[in-house]
Structure formats: C-alpha cells, structure tokens
Amino acid sequence: MTKVVVGMSGGVDSSVAAILLKEQGYEVIGLFMRNWDSSLNGDFLGNPDLNQPICPQEQDYNDALAVCEKIGIPLHRIDFVKEYWDYVFTYFLDELKKGRTPNPDIMCNKYIKFDYFIREAKRLGATYIATGHYAKIKDGQLLRAKDQNKDQTYFLSQLSKEQLDHVLFPLGDLEKSEVRKIAEKYGLVTAHKKDSTGICFIGERNFKNFLQNYLPNLPGDIINIETGQKIGRHIGLMYYTIGQRRGLDVGGTKEKLFVVGKNLDQNILYVAEGEDNPYLYSDSCILEQVNFNCLDRPTNITAKFRYRQQDYPVHLQYLEDGRIKVEYLQPIKAVTPGQACVFYDQERCIGGGIIQEACKEGRKIWYLL
C-alpha cells in the first residue's frame, strides 16, 4: 500500500484531503507542522492572542488530532520554527527593508511545506506528501483547480518539478462548498471552521504594531509626485504598497490618492491623484528568482501579478543573467516589486518569478527610487 503523509493544518481543507486519500486506498499519515513560536520570536506587539487560554496554533493541533482520531489515522508533530525564521520570516523582513512588498506564503511553500516537510515525510517512509491546496497535478504538470475562486497555483509557482513529483493535491477537482459537505458527512470538528488568514503560519496580527517587534518606525514626508508638494506624513515606508489608497490620512485633494513610489534614501512616499493616473501603470517588468516547473520555455503566455488578479497576455524575454523581462500587451496597473509574477499556459501554471522592478518605455519607473 502506497504511503502518503498529509500536512494536517487543523483546517477543513487538509482534513478532507486526508479523507479522500484514505478512500482512494492510500496508507495515510498525518503530520502537523509548528512553524512559529510567539515567545521565542518576540511576537508581542500586535498579537491579539497573548491573553488567550490556548493559542490558535495549539487549537489547530487539537483540531487536527480530533480529525485524525475520527478518521483513524496517526498524527505526528514536528517543529520547523528555526527553518521558518531562517528561510521565510527573515526574507519577509529583508524585503520590507528594501521597500518592497513580499509574499511570505510563496516562500513558505518553497522552503517549508514542500522542502523540509517532504524530507520529514520521506523519513516516515512516505512515497508522497499531500496538502489541502486547491490545485491539480496531471502528468507531472501543475494545473489550476476546478474552483477558480480558491485556486492556489499562484502560491505554488516557486516549486520545482522535482518537488511537484512528490505531491498530491486531492482537492483539485472540488469546489469549496463540496469540501465542507464532505467534512459535515464525516462529522468533523473542522467542517465549519473559518479559513485561516493573515501571515502564513503566524496568523492575524495588527500589521503596524506587529512589525514594530522587528523593524523601527521611520516616519517621513508624503509628496505628490506630479506637483512636488509635501501633502502629509507617512508612518514608515514598509507599511505601504504600490496602488494603495486607504490609510494615507491625507485629505483635501480633488481625487483619491494612490501610492505610486518610494524613495528609500530620502524616506519619501510618493502619491498621485486618480485611479487611472499614468504613474500607476507600467508596460514591462524585470523578474528575479525565476523558476520553471516544466522543460519547455514558452515566450507568449499569460501572467498574474497578484493573487486573484485576472490573467494578462505577456511576452517573455530571457536575459543573459537569468532574469526575465516581461512585456505586457497592454499597460498594467500597480505592478509591485517584491510580489510574484506567475506564468500560465492556459490551465497550466508553469512557474514565475519575483518582480524586481517595473518599467515604462524601457526605463525603471518610480516604484523604488
């Protein structure tokens, strides 16, 4: 019997993934990862769970244990607290220091869920690992999930072909509503549990206060990039992202204000008026940390620049240093350094890269000066 280790998060998706695999005849083992320690990691400011009788992470473990007992599979537990700090959280902080907008979920998948987790699964004698991600694998290729609203291939774009060869995604052909119905049928404690939100494995935090645990606040000027006029003060460049409208606390303008750039050396936040302001748009971008999970290297495909964003047709130009220039067929709004650009060949997710800079008419634009 083929052995599969399922990443049990304490949520409904991983619970149903385990059920489906058991029904398909696999020998299923549950494995719960503990990746964050609030006390050890100095997570005090902005943490709403400090005075709770049981932290959410321990409640998740208890829920995972209850599910495993209900469906008759063993549950193991392992700590990757140090690995998460070294490979995910340090990256997250370093990107913020650069003025960029990182996506820790993507790096968590690359280094923790589909690297260290796979190593532990192999130690337990498993042929495959499985998770509750909404995605498909067919003939070794990563495909979008049936439930387009829940599709998570965007977050899996940094996985290699070798990593995907060891993975099963049991929920790929199900809608979220169907997953909950299966959990209800089995009477699982997770059947109506709300989906986790917030930073990967850390959870809900007051972002401003949370970051003060690790990075100093450096207030500075907000300047209208078109007039050069100082119109307010920001609370720290790390709290803002390109295209952001809310939270600027600046009034008296004719149209809504949007973040269009940052000057790290002078600690300036640049804004511009109007949803369709030209400063919000670029016509190409440069990607670093490029990853493909397939052997072919297409040039004319589609791409997403944010999760749940629509697909845009693009042309890829492969640079000699390993980076990629992504040329858009139409100007795109708020393409943001630090975010992932993910490639699609119709239903197939073939990889992606991290946006290093956005360009307009062949020149780097205002996003990071």
Quick one: pLDDT at residue 253? 82
CA–CA separation, 257 and 278 (whole Å): 13
Tokens 């060869």 belong to 165
Quick one: pLDDT at residue 52? 80
Quick one: pLDDT at residue 198? 77
Q: How many CB atoms lie within 10 A of CB 140?
A: 11
The C-alpha angle with vertex 293 and arms to 288 and 295, in degrees rounded to 5, equals 105
Quick one: pLDDT at residue 102? 96
CA–CA separation, 90 and 317 (whole Å): 31
Quick one: pLDDT at residue 305? 97
| 214 φ, ψ (degrees, to nearest 5) | -130, -25
Q: Bridge partners of 167?
A: 129
pTM passes above 0.85? yes
DSSP string, 307-345: TTPPPEEEEEEE-TTS-EEEEEEEEEE---TTSEEEEEE
200 has catalytic annotation: yes
Distances (CA, A) of 66 to 106, 124, 164, 189, 221: 29, 21, 29, 7, 52
Q: Bridge partners of 124?
A: none
Quick one: pLDDT at residue 366? 53
201: left (phi over 0), alpha (psi -120 to 50) or beta: left
Q: What is the Cα gyration radius of the chain?
A: 22
- Report residue 49 as tokens: 């769970």
Quick one: pLDDT at residue 88? 97
Own/partner long-range contacts of 119-123 (Cβ < 8 Å, ≥24 apart) = 120/5, 120/31, 120/78, 121/5, 121/31, 121/166
285 has catalytic annotation: no
Which residue of the set 68, 108, 341, 359 is catalytic? 108
For the chain, which residues score pLDDT lower than 70?
A: 363-369
Quick one: pLDDT at residue 24? 97
Q: What CATH number should be reported for the domain whose range is 3-207?
A: 3.40.50.620
Domain range 216-273, its CATH number among 3.40.50.2300, 3.10.129.10, 2.30.30.280, 3.50.50.60: 2.30.30.280
Domain ranges, ordered by start, for the chain = 3-207, 216-273, 278-364
Q: Are 236 and 269 in contact (CB under 8 A)?
A: no
CA–CA separation, 15 and 35 (whole Å): 19
Which residue of the set 68, 200, 341, 349 is catalytic? 200
User: Taking Cα atoms as reference points, which of 46, 129, 38 lies closest to residue 84?
Assistant: 38
| 332 φ, ψ (degrees, to nearest 5) | -120, 140
- Give all strands of the β-sheet with 3-7 in edge-to-edge order: 75-79, 27-34, 3-7, 128-130, 167-168
User: Taking Cα atoms as reference points, which of 242, 330, 341 lies closest to residue 283?
Assistant: 330
Quick one: pLDDT at residue 123? 96
3-207 and 278-364 in the same fold: no
- Asked if CATH classification 3.10.450.50 holds for the domain at 278-364, the reply, yes or no, is no
Identify the H or E element spanning 277. Answer: none
